[in-house]
A and B are shown apart, each in its own frame.
Chain A
Amino acid sequence: MQEGLWNRGETISQTQNWKSGVSYSCDPADFSYMKVNVPCQDACPALTNIPSYIRALYEEKFATSYEINRMVNLLPGTLGRICSRPCELKCRHGEAGLGEPVNICHIKRAASDFRSLGHSYMTPRFAPVGKTVAIVGSGPAGLAAAHDLAMMGFDVTILEACEEPGGMLRYGIPEFRLPRIILSEEIDNILRLGISMKAGVRVGVDLTLESIMSNYDATLIAAGCYEPMELEIPGEDLLGVYTGLNFVMDVAKGFDVRIGKKVLVIGAGFTAFDCSRLALRLGAEDVTLCIRGLEEDLRVTTDEIVEAKREGIRIQSLLLSKGVHGSGHVKGVEFFRTRPVERSSGSRRTVEPILGSEFVLEADSVILAIGQAPQRIPGPGKQNDRGVIIADFSNFRSTAPNLYLAGDYLTGPSTVIESISSGRRAAGKIAEDLLGKKLKEWVVRIKDAKLTDRQRSWDLIPRVEIPTVLPVEDRFQSKGFVEVETGFLPEQAHDESKRCYLCYLHYEIDVNKCIYCRYCIDNAPRDCIKLVNDIFTDETGAISGYLETTQWTEVSAVVIDNSQCVRCGECVRVCPVDCISVSRMDLVERFLIEETEA
């Protein structure tokens, strides 16, 4: 089974050229099946076809692997470095007893790193539709929306307040995590679709929103969150107290930021970690990250925590700031110690201060990285109590005609991959509203598949971790711009790609041919083949459970539980009557209009 370019976004013309053996399904049961059985793809907000791009990389088709990514997440080289990796939390290789999740994110980066210099992008193009769209903001959501709209034939203009496009990607993520050359290449690739980029335009200051709306058929605000949150404690206005966002942006813009030797960072997200690690690169010698809850609740990757600690950052948990101490300039922060409190099932852990536990940590500088909110842009439509325009999360529409919101501006702070997904979905909705028809849809593509060459022994390969610059001191050379993660070597990426189970494969026993010999059960590596008396389905018709039995007289079928199956293929190999079939199910996005140029 070879990965080919047909894995990229589908178009009608491509569909018609396909040979027999391929079918498309919009059956809710098939979507439910994909949700359960390809959990990595389901966990990705952009629905990246992860098994497909990992398989392509295994076959050393790096450009194909890159393109499978790019068609849905647009910035594989960037995301391969900074994605929050919700997919890895759901990877079935990480389930109890199966080892560690596949290093999905860094395989994505490898696809970007190893594609040839002459790699040509494969964006399908469609005829101009004669409609104009203005997008406020060129962060991940704005770029994603611009990409999709331009591809579908809209005339798109981006208005960006900063000097260069990228938003938080360029100004909110330090260079040691995301080299600007990688980011710029991927942004240029989006803009080359004919998107007009107007930088240095502050909507609401230089140009009113109303004037933009009057000149375009639709306007999308994807301006991100640039209003730093405050702790609302005494002393926040002392000299030496920075907000995380301003601190990171000032460093990104090359300003001379002086923070002293002892730095406290208050916050628990990626920005707090970025601030901590940047502080070290600015010469701080003692950096402590103070979090309200527990380390296990941090919303960053384990790699991030390990690397931060390796660089010398201390994490102090269960701290709640009470006040900033100092006279004119900050001298320290007074904290309460906190304790976790009871939480209802499924909710996030919360903490409460322990009375009488107050103590002070000294500091030369304090960085408050506790989040940010959208900035107010004066304009029409319903607004929240801060005067920020709001919109319906489900369709991105504000209450003003043809005014849409997307990304963090709509939802509040989220991840890059969530913003990209939001931007793309908003683009789809805008296109649908302006043209009165749907231009694309998600479908399940089902195709016969042969057994892969995966070997059972590959399941035992330990997870390959991303190499980093060592010794740690070398990371602080070149003004701290050295990229810390150096990326996989080709053989490391290849080894890691072997570990993917390829959950898009679907195994099924034909009960009419099965002779109940049990060879498959005897050879199964886990409890994935079941003798059942009954099968339960959910409201969509997808299988939701089995009534298993050990009594031969009660067995009505032998079934493969694909949610347990590790796609090793042993059952197929040992079956004496060839009653087990393998198909490949891909959740793909299909365009409903004709492509005009490649």
Chain B
Amino acid sequence: MSRQSFVIIGNGPAANQAAESLRSQSSDSKITMLSKDSFRGYLPHLLPDFVSGSIGEESLYFRPHAYYKEKNIFLRLGQKAVGIDFSKRRIFLEHREVISFDGLIIATGGKPRIPEYYQLFEDLMLTLKTPQDAKLWISKLKSVDSILMLGGDLTSLSLTRALLKMGKTIQFIINEDSFWPIPYSEEIYKAVTQRLESKGVQVVHCNKIRRVTQIDENLIEVDTNTCTVRTGAIGAFFGLVPDVRFLVRSGLDIDRGILVDEFLKTRFEDVFAVGDCAQVYHPALRNYWVSIGYQNAATLGKIAASNLLGSHLEALVAPESILDVGGVKVNTSWWTEF
């Protein structure tokens, strides 16, 4: 019998933990990790600290190249999966290569979400998901002192905290959709506003951006339905969307992310999904949700690997409002930690 070939799509915390767990439980299998990014796996929650200069770039990465060699894990960076044929168990890569698999764990993570309305202004907005994004922020912050934050997700608040430490002036437009999966309410808006303002952030009360105009390299004018804001840079923080567009119409059930059962199994045999790209039903929320936070992702990666090898471990959903995000017990009320 030929040795089994496992493929992991992704290179984040969930993917790396899945690879490690597979190797520890299956010493002779072939393990391939596919990453569309050309850089090693990193810890996204540290990006705001990297932007502010609190930590160096090397601290972002959690595995040296030697690790993969030592574990006999075939890490293929800069190689993008563009389709999967689940019936034939084949993955199509952008450069036309086709890879077969016996077992598959999809851990493609998320990418910054820009609501359709704001996509018109996307070119004038900065996001913060990758080390490259962080470097853009670092470069921009050398020449601007004021930043307008749009959104309200976890990253926006972490970055706001980091920017305040740097002495930057922050204006904030709170977007209700950034609080998914929590039903947004006036109470949340007031609570977030109060916390932001107590730290010196100016909350701009408006519900529509009408126009965004770049006046010069370091000045952007934002017309809202209530006022005009002048700022040096705009950050867009509306949460993440699972990076699964290439799987649409593949046969998987995809809502915001890939729907999986409590064992992280997709509709297809020996195919699992974990991390920011997977969605599981949460009885307390009465909704599907994406479990966030790198430690959760790592835990899920471990469970998926075990289940792929024949275990039947259940991924317990976290209680509402309590999840581990970068060591901080928050999730559905992350702004309370601000």
Q: A residues within 8 Å of B by Cβ?
A: 96-97, 294-296, 306, 309-312, 314, 317-318, 337, 339-340, 342, 349, 354, 356-359, 470-473
Assembled-state Cα–Cα distance A310/B208 (Å)? 12
Of B196-204, B281-289, B294-302, the one contacting chain A is B281-289
Which residues in B have their C-beta under 8 angstroms from that of A317? 255
Judge whether A339 and B286 touch: CB under 8 Å: no
Of B47-55, B160-168, B246-254, the one contacting chain A is B246-254
Which residues in A have their C-beta under 8 angstroms from that of B211? 471
Assembled-state Cα–Cα distance A472/B281 (Å)? 35
Question: Nearest chain-A residue to B208 (Cβ)?
Answer: A473
Query: Which single member of B119, B208, B286 contacts A357 (CB below 8 Å)?
Result: B286
Question: Nearest chain-A residue to B87 (Cβ)?
Answer: A345
Q: Given known contacts A296-B249, A340-B253, A354-B281, what 12 new A-B pairs fall within 8 Å (CB)?
A: A96-B92, A97-B82, A295-B255, A309-B116, A310-B117, A310-B119, A311-B117, A337-B281, A339-B281, A342-B267, A349-B253, A471-B120
Assembled-state Cα–Cα distance A472/B117 (Å)? 8
Q: 1/0 per position for B92-125, CB-CB distance to A under 8 A?
A: 1000100000000000000000011101100000
Judge whether B253 and A96 touch: CB under 8 Å: no
B210 at the interface (CB under 8 A from A): yes
Top 3 nearest A-B pairs by Cβ distance? A309-B116, A310-B116, A340-B253
Query: Which single member of A296, A312, A358 contacts B117 (CB below 8 Å)?
Result: A312
Assembled-state Cα–Cα distance A449/B208 (Å)? 56
> Contacts A354-B281, A471-B211: A296 and B82 contacting too (C-beta < 8 A)?
no
Q: 1/0 per position for B54-97, CB-CB distance to A under 8 A?
A: 00000000000000000000000000001100000000100010
B68 to A: closest C-beta gap in Å: 29
Which residues in B have their C-beta under 8 angstroms from that of A359? 286
Question: Nearest chain-B residue to A358 (Cβ)?
Answer: B286
B8 at the interface (CB under 8 A from A): no
Interface of B is mostly: mixed
Judge whether A340 and B259 touch: CB under 8 Å: yes
Which residues in A have their C-beta under 8 angstroms from that of B210? 471, 473
Assembled-state Cα–Cα distance A322/B286 (Å)? 15
Which residues in B have their C-beta under 8 angstroms from that of A356? 283, 286
Judge whether A294 and B254 touch: CB under 8 Å: yes
Query: Which single member of B208, B248, B267 contacts A296 (CB below 8 Å)?
Result: B248
Judge whether B253 and A294 touch: CB under 8 Å: yes
Judge whether A294 and B281 touch: CB under 8 Å: no
Judge whether B255 and A306 touch: CB under 8 Å: no
> Contacts A317-B255, A473-B210: A97 and B96 contacting too (C-beta < 8 A)?
yes
Which residues in A have their C-beta under 8 angstroms from that of B208? 473
Q: How many B residues have CB within 8 A of the partner chain?
A: 25
Judge whether A339 and B120 touch: CB under 8 Å: no
Assembled-state Cα–Cα distance A472/B208 (Å)? 11
Query: Which single member of A296, A311, A337, A342 contacts B287 (CB below 8 Å)?
Result: A337
Judge whether B116 and A294 touch: CB under 8 Å: no
B141 to A: closest C-beta gap in Å: 29
Assembled-state Cα–Cα distance A354/B82 (Å)? 32
Query: Which single member of B96, B116, B177, B253 contacts A306 (CB below 8 Å)?
Result: B116
Listed by A's residue number, 18 A-B pairs whose Cβ atoms lie within 8 Å are A96-B82, A96-B92, A97-B92, A294-B253, A295-B255, A306-B116, A310-B117, A310-B119, A310-B120, A318-B288, A337-B288, A340-B267, A354-B281, A357-B283, A359-B286, A470-B120, A473-B208, A473-B210
Which residues in A have their C-beta under 8 angstroms from that of B267? 340, 342
Judge whether A337 and B253 touch: CB under 8 Å: no
B136 to A: closest C-beta gap in Å: 24
Question: Nearest chain-B residue to A319 (Cβ)?
Answer: B287
Which residues in A have their C-beta under 8 angstroms from that of B281? 337, 339, 354, 357
Interface of A is mostly: loop
> Contacts A337-B286, A337-B288, A359-B286: A96 and B83 contacting too (C-beta < 8 A)?
yes
Q: 1/0 per position for B278-318, CB-CB distance to A under 8 A?
A: 00010100111000000000000000000000000000000
Which residues in A have their C-beta under 8 angstroms from that of B82? 96-97
> Contacts A339-B259, A356-B283, A473-B210: A309 and B115 contacting too (C-beta < 8 A)?
yes
Which residues in B have their C-beta under 8 angstroms from that of A318? 255, 288
A183 to B: closest C-beta gap in Å: 28
A483 to B: closest C-beta gap in Å: 19
Question: Nearest chain-A residue to B247 (Cβ)?
Answer: A296
Which residues in A have their C-beta under 8 angstroms from that of B249? 296
Question: Nearest chain-A residue to B225 (Cβ)?
Answer: A473
Assembled-state Cα–Cα distance A473/B208 (Å)? 10
Assembled-state Cα–Cα distance A356/B282 (Å)? 11
Assembled-state Cα–Cα distance A340/B259 (Å)? 9
Which residues in A have their C-beta under 8 angstroms from that of B96? 97
Assembled-state Cα–Cα distance A354/B283 (Å)? 9
Assembled-state Cα–Cα distance A473/B248 (Å)? 31
Assembled-state Cα–Cα distance A356/B287 (Å)? 11
Which residues in A have their C-beta under 8 angstroms from that of B253? 294, 340, 349
Which residues in A have their C-beta under 8 angstroms from that of B283? 356-357
B274 to A: closest C-beta gap in Å: 18
B202 to A: closest C-beta gap in Å: 24
Which residues in B have their C-beta under 8 angstroms from that of A296? 248-249, 254
Assembled-state Cα–Cα distance A317/B286 (Å)? 13
Which residues in A have their C-beta under 8 angstroms from that of B116? 306, 309-310
Judge whether B255 and A294 touch: CB under 8 Å: yes
Which residues in B have their C-beta under 8 angstroms from that of A471? 120, 210-211
Which residues in B have their C-beta under 8 angstroms from that of A314? 177
Question: Nearest chain-A residue to B96 (Cβ)?
Answer: A97
Question: Nearest chain-B residue to A337 (Cβ)?
Answer: B286
Assembled-state Cα–Cα distance A275/B288 (Å)? 26
Q: 1/0 per position for B201-220, CB-CB distance to A under 8 A?
A: 00000001011000000000
Assembled-state Cα–Cα distance A468/B263 (Å)? 44
B210 to A: closest C-beta gap in Å: 6
Q: Which residues 254-279 of B sit at the A interface, judged by CB distance below 8 A? A: 254-255, 259, 267
Question: Nearest chain-A residue to B82 (Cβ)?
Answer: A96
Assembled-state Cα–Cα distance A344/B208 (Å)? 45
Question: Nearest chain-B residue to A96 (Cβ)?
Answer: B83
Assembled-state Cα–Cα distance A97/B95 (Å)? 9
B117 to A: closest C-beta gap in Å: 5
Assembled-state Cα–Cα distance A375/B331 (Å)? 52
B106 to A: closest C-beta gap in Å: 16
Which residues in B have their C-beta under 8 angstroms from that of A342? 267
Assembled-state Cα–Cα distance A472/B119 (Å)? 12
A546 to B: closest C-beta gap in Å: 19
B76 to A: closest C-beta gap in Å: 19
Which residues in B have their C-beta under 8 angstroms from that of A473? 208, 210
Which residues in B have their C-beta under 8 angstroms from that of A349? 253
Question: Nearest chain-B residue to A526 (Cβ)?
Answer: B96
Assembled-state Cα–Cα distance A41/B69 (Å)? 52
Assembled-state Cα–Cα distance A309/B83 (Å)? 26
Q: Which residues 160-193 of B sit at the A interface, judged by CB distance below 8 A? A: 177
Assembled-state Cα–Cα distance A471/B119 (Å)? 12
Which residues in B have their C-beta under 8 angstroms from that of A96? 82-83, 92
Question: Nearest chain-A residue to B209 (Cβ)?
Answer: A471
Assembled-state Cα–Cα distance A357/B281 (Å)? 10
Which residues in B have their C-beta under 8 angstroms from that of A97? 82, 92, 96
Assembled-state Cα–Cα distance A357/B285 (Å)? 9
Question: Nearest chain-B residue to A294 (Cβ)?
Answer: B255
B279 to A: closest C-beta gap in Å: 10
Judge whether A309 and B117 touch: CB under 8 Å: yes
Q: Among B115, B249, B255, B288, which residue has the most Cβ atoms of chain A within 10 A?
A: B255
Q: Among A310, A314, A342, A349, which residue has the most Cβ atoms of chain B within 10 A?
A: A310
Assembled-state Cα–Cα distance A96/B96 (Å)? 10
Assembled-state Cα–Cα distance A519/B287 (Å)? 59
Assembled-state Cα–Cα distance A468/B286 (Å)? 37
Q: 1/0 per position for B119-151, CB-CB distance to A under 8 A?
A: 110000000000000000000000000000000
Which residues in A have their C-beta under 8 angstroms from that of B287? 337
A209 to B: closest C-beta gap in Å: 44
Assembled-state Cα–Cα distance A132/B51 (Å)? 80
Which residues in B have their C-beta under 8 angstroms from that of A312? 117
B249 to A: closest C-beta gap in Å: 6
